[in-house]
Amino acid sequence: MVRFEDLNIETIDVEEGIRQTLDEEPLDELAKSIEIHDILQPLVVEPGEEGRYKLQIGKRRMAAARMVGLEAVPVIILDSPLDAQESLAMRLVENLHREDLDPMDEAEAYSTLKDMGIKVSEIARRVGKERTHVSHTLRLLRLHPKVRENVRNQNISREHAKALLRLEPYQQIALAEEVMEKGLTMQVTRDRVRGLLGKELKWRLVPIRIEPAVYDRLVTIAPEGDVSKLLKQAVEKLLTGEL
C-alpha cells in the first residue's frame, strides 16, 4: 500500500544520484514549469527515522522545487522501505527515463542494472529503448578512462566514441585528441580507424536522389528490379570505357 501526501520539503533527505552533475539549464526550465504549473508528478519517498523521509524518485523535481522556494511537495509515500537493490533499480530507471544523462552516465547506469542480474532486453524494455541502443551504449565502458572523460564532458560525441572502440587504448587516446583538435568528421574518423587497423576501404556509400518517375523506369530495366545494381554496372562500364 502507498499513500499520497504533501510533505514539508525540509523533512525529505536526498541521497546522491547516479548523475555526475545536474545540468543547470534543463533544471532552470523545470523550475519555471513548476513555478507556473506546480509539480504535476509526485515524488516517491520511503519512511526514514524520526519522522523523516528518504527520496527514492524525483531528484531533479526536488532540486527545482527548492529553486522556486516551495515549502511542500506532493509525494507518494511507500508503505515500507525498499531493499537496497529495489531502491537502486527504481532510481536508475527513473533517471534513465527522465534525465538527459550524458552517454557515460547512461552506460554506467545500464552496467549497474546488468550487474544486478537484469538482462539487457529487460533493461531496454524498462527504459523504452531498443536493445541495440543499450548494448552499444554499454560498449562505451570499454573506452580508455581518458576518452570516457572526454565523452562525459561532451568533447567527443557518442558516435565518434563508438568508432574508437575498435582501437587499442593508446590509439583511442591519440585519435580522440585529433578529433578534438581538428574537429574530424565521422567519415574522416572512420577512415583514420581503418588506417590504424591496416584495413583498406572496401567500398564507400554514395547517396543520390532520383525522382520517383525516373526510379520507376529504372526498376523496369534493372536486373531483377535492383536499381542499385544497375547503377553500379553503369558506373563500372563508364570507368572501363564501355559506355
Residue 159 lies in a domain: yes
In a domain, 101, yes or no: no
Q: Please, are residues 81 and 13 in contact by the beta-carbon 8 Å criterion? A: no
| Per-residue pLDDT at 156 exceeds 50 | yes
Per-residue pLDDT at 144: 92
pLDDT of residue 83: 63
Q: Is 232 found in the same domain as 162?
A: no
C-alpha cell at 136: 552499444
**Tens digits of residue pLDDT in 121-150:** 988 887 778 899 999 999 999 999 999 999
Q: 18 pLDDT exceeds 90?
A: no
Task: Let me know whether 212 and 180 are in one domain.
Answer: no
Does 157 or 209 have the greater pLDDT score? 157
Give the integer Cα–Cα distance in Å for 121 and 135: 9
Q: Which residue has the higher pLDDT, 120 or 206?
A: 120
Could you report the per-residue pLDDT of 79-114, keeping only the tens digit for each?
766 665 666 666 676 666 555 678 888 888 888 888
DSSP letters spanning the chain: -EEEEEEEGGGEE----S-S---HHHHHHHHHHHHHH--SS-EEEEE-STT-EEEEE-HHHHHHHHHTT-SEEEEEEESSPPPHHHHHHHHHHHHHHHS---HHHHHHHHHHHHHTT--HHHHHHHHT--HHHHHHHHHGGGS-HHHHHHHHTTSS-HHHHHHHTTS-HHHHHHHHHHHHHHT--HHHHHHHHHHHHT-------------HHHHHHHHHHSGGG-HHHHHHHHHHHHHTT--
24 and 56 both lie in a single domain: yes
Single out the residue in 53, 81, 109 at which a domain terminates: 81
Separation in Å, CA 165 to CA 138, 152, 172:
11, 16, 7
Is 98 inside any structural domain?
A: no
Confirm whether 130 is domain-assigned. Answer: no
Does residue 145 fall inside a structural domain?
no
Answer yes or no: do 41 and 68 share one domain. yes
Question: What pLDDT is stored for residue 117 in this prediction?
Answer: 83
**Average pLDDT rounded to a whole number, residues 221-240:** 84
The pLDDT of residue 240: 81
Structural domain boundaries enclosing 235:
206-243
**pLDDT for residue 16:** 63
> For the chain, what is the domain count?
3
pLDDT per residue as tens digits for the range 37-59: 888 778 888 888 888 998 887 88
Q: Is residue 133 part of a domain?
A: no
Residue 182: the pLDDT is 93
Query: What is the average pLDDT value for the chain, to the nearest integer?
Result: 82
